[in-house]
Amino acid sequence: MKIIGSAVLFILTITLANGQNNESTWYSETNNNGIIIQNSYPKGGPYTGATENHFNHSSLVFFTRVANTTNEAIEMTMNFSADSIAIPNSPGTYMKIFLPSDTMSFEKEKLYNYGVSHLNSFNTPTGFCKIIEAHEEYLFYVVTIFYQISKDLTDQYRGGNRAELVMENQVLYYNMLPQIQALPCGTIFK
């Protein structure tokens, strides 16, 4: 009986250990001389923050992982203005991008909106400056809020729902096609 109990415990332990895998499925991944940038798929839903005189709000939450696999520290800066971006082929429909103050971790990956709770930066520029040491990583959120300027504009096309941070030389760009292609938003320096 002890042998059967031990065997069951062993199988259960292996099964649970394999189920706790932090391997994410990424929308996109790039490696620029040892700086790996991985971008998540979106999670989203209604936007419930301050809305002023806008209508039909919704949000998409993404997270990005920047891994420094080099032997030197890097300095990363990110900035998004509070400006609205018009959505092509959808008159009266706009989007805003911001960096919430919440801290992302892999433990939050299965949560609604990846666990982000501070969606209050609708009209405020956001940014950060972070030193990422050699062989360390940094995870952060990027949120996109979609809205319309008239309550009569329903079921308007809001565009793509995939986004990615990319690096060319030392400049960071944000893409969300067709709305945004190569929006400068930061830098990474060694």
* 119 part of a folded domain: yes
* 108 part of a folded domain: yes
* 61 part of a folded domain: yes
Closest CA relative to residue 143, chosen from 49, 61, 37, 83: 61
pLDDT of residue 18: 35
pLDDT of residue 7: 38
Per-10-residue mean pLDDT of the chain, 190 residues long, equals 41 34 79 97 81 79 97 98 87 89 94 84 87 98 88 69 94 90 94
* 56 part of a folded domain: yes
pLDDT of residue 53: 73
What is the total count of domains within the chain? Answer: 1
pLDDT of residue 14: 34
Distance between CA 64 and CA 2 in Å, rounded?
A: 47
- pTM of the entire predicted model: 0.83
Closest CA relative to residue 96, chosen from 40, 52, 154, 151: 52
Strand partners, 115: none
Q: What is the CB neighbour count within 10 angstroms for residue 175?
A: 17
